[in-house]
Amino acid sequence: MTKQIPQPWGTPLKEEALQKHNVLTVDYKPKVKYAWASGIAIGRFLNGLKDGQIIGTRCDNCGRVVVPPRIFCEWCFKPTESWVKLPDTGTVNTFSISYITADTTRIKTPIIPAVIQIDETTNAGLLHLIENSKPDAVKIGMKVKAAWLPASERKGSITDIKHFAPVR
Amino acid sequence: MSSESIKVEGDFPVHFRYTAGLAGEKFLREIKDNARLVASRCLKCGLNYLPPRISCERCMSRLEEYVPIESVGVVAAVTRCRYDPEGKELAEPVPLALVRFPSAHGGLIHRVKGTVQVGDKVRVIFKEKLSRIGFILDIEHFEKVR
C-alpha cells in the first residue's frame, strides 16, 4: 500500500520559517479550564494538606492503610470509615530521572518524580518530586521527608508539599 | 460528610500556531496582496476549488494551477451566531452566511453585513490594504449586491 503512494505532497515546516514569519500563521490560545469534584476522601486529604497533615484511611476489615484516602477498600469492597493521621515521612517506592518538564521543555538539571510510600501505610504511595538529592544518589528504599510550603501559602493542593527530600 | 467534597479547578496552558498549508497560503496571500479570491483548478476535472486545496477530491491529481474567482457569490445558507468560542453569550448575534461562487466548487463562510436571505447575491468586501495581514478576517464581510 505505502509503495503506491508517491512522495507525500506536504511541505515540512522548519522552525526558522515560523520564527522569521516566512509563512502566514494564526495563533490561538484556547481557555482550557477544568473543574472536578474531589469526592469525600480526596476532599479530606486536600484539606489535611492545607493543615500540613497527610491523611489516609484504614480498612477495618483487612487493616490496610492507604494514602491518598478512599471511602472504600477495593480489596474488601467495604466502606473505610477510619481516618488516620500519617507521618510526612516515607520510602522511595519507584522513581524516574527526567530531563524534560511536563510541557516537554528540555532541562539541564533533571527533575526526579517518585512514588513515595508514606510510613505506616500499606502498598500505596504519593507521586511527587524528590529534591535536595543528586540524581544518582536516589535509590529505591531511600528514606524521605516532605518539605512543606509555609502555612500561609498552602491552599489544599498536593503542591502544598513542595517536594520530598532525603532524611539525613 | 458530602460537603467535604471540594471543587478543584485549574487550566491548561495551550498555545496553537496554525499554518494554512500550500494552497491555503496562496489563498491568504492573494487576499492580502491583491484583495481577490483564488481557487485551485483541476485541469482534468475542470473543477475550481474554493478555498483552494492541493489535491482534487475526484481524481486525486495534484493541483498547481490557480484561477481568480469573481468576488460575487450567492448565499447558500445563513445563521446567527449567539455565542463566542468560550460559550459566552454575545451582546449582539453575529450573522453568518455560506456563500457559493458560480465558477467555483466549495464556498466560504463569513460574516454578513445586514440581513441576507438564501439566494441573495453578495459581494466579498475586503479590508483596507494596510490592515490586511493574510488572515481570513482580511475579508471584512459579505455585502448584499443591490
**A69 contacts on B by Cβ (under 8 Å):** none
Average pLDDT over residues A62-71: 94
DSSP for residue B128: P
Cβ separation B17–A30 shorter than 8 A: no
Determine the pLDDT at residue A5.
Answer: 59
Of A16-20, A28-32, A76-80, which range is least confident? A16-20
Q: How far is A63 from chain B (nearest CA, A)?
A: 23
- Please give the domain boundaries of chain A with CATH numbers for all domains: 39-166 (2.40.50.140)
List, for residues A103-155, the tens digit of each pLDDT value. 788 899 999 999 999 999 987 799 999 999 999 999 999 999 999 999 999 99
Determine the pLDDT at residue A2.
Answer: 55
Average pLDDT over residues A8-25: 80
The dihedrals phi and psi of A24, each to the nearest 5 degrees, come to -75, 140
Determine the pLDDT at residue B1.
Answer: 42
- Residues 6 or more apart whose CB falls under 8 angstroms from that of B124 comprise B37, B71, B72, B73, B99, B108, B110, B139, B142
Residues of chain B with confidence (pLDDT) below 50:
1-2
- Residues 6 or more apart whose CB falls under 8 angstroms from that of A154 comprise A49, A50, A51, A52, A148, A160
Q: How many domains does chain B fold into?
A: 1
Determine the pLDDT at residue A87.
Answer: 97
Determine the pLDDT at residue B3.
Answer: 61
The dihedrals phi and psi of B136, each to the nearest 5 degrees, come to -65, -25
Asked, as a colleague might, if the bond just before A68 is cis with ω within 30 of 0, I would say: yes
Whether B122 and B146 have beta carbons less than 8 Å apart is answered as no
Cβ separation A29–B14 shorter than 8 A: yes
Taking the Cβ of residue A43 and every Cβ of chain B, the question of whether any pair is shorter than 8 Å is answered with yes
Mean pLDDT, chain A, whole residue set: 91
Residue in chain A closest to B28 (alpha carbons) equals A24
- For residue B71, tell me if it sits in a domain: yes
Residue B69's identity, in one-letter code, is: I
Q: Is the dihedral of CA A94, A166, A53, A87 positive or negative?
A: positive
Task: Write out the residue range of the structural domain in which residue B117 sits.
Answer: 17-144
- For residue B10, tell me if it sits in a domain: no
Report the Cα B61 to chain-centroid distance in Å.
Answer: 24
Q: Is the dihedral of CA B21, B25, B27, B28 positive or negative?
A: positive
Residue in chain B closest to A44 (alpha carbons) equals B4
Cα of first residue to Cα of last residue in chain A, in angstroms, is 61
Cβ separation A31–B86 shorter than 8 A: yes
Q: Which of A9, A28, A37 sits opposite B5 (nearest CB)?
A: A37
Cβ separation B18–A39 shorter than 8 A: no
In which element (H, E) is residue B124 found? strand B121-126
- For residue B31, tell me if it sits in a domain: yes
- For residue B6, tell me if it sits in a domain: no
Determine the pLDDT at residue B2.
Answer: 46
The dihedrals phi and psi of B124, each to the nearest 5 degrees, come to -80, 125
List, for residues A26-45, the tens digit of each pLDDT value. 999 988 899 999 999 999 99
- For residue B38, tell me if it sits in a domain: yes
Determine the pLDDT at residue A6.
Answer: 63
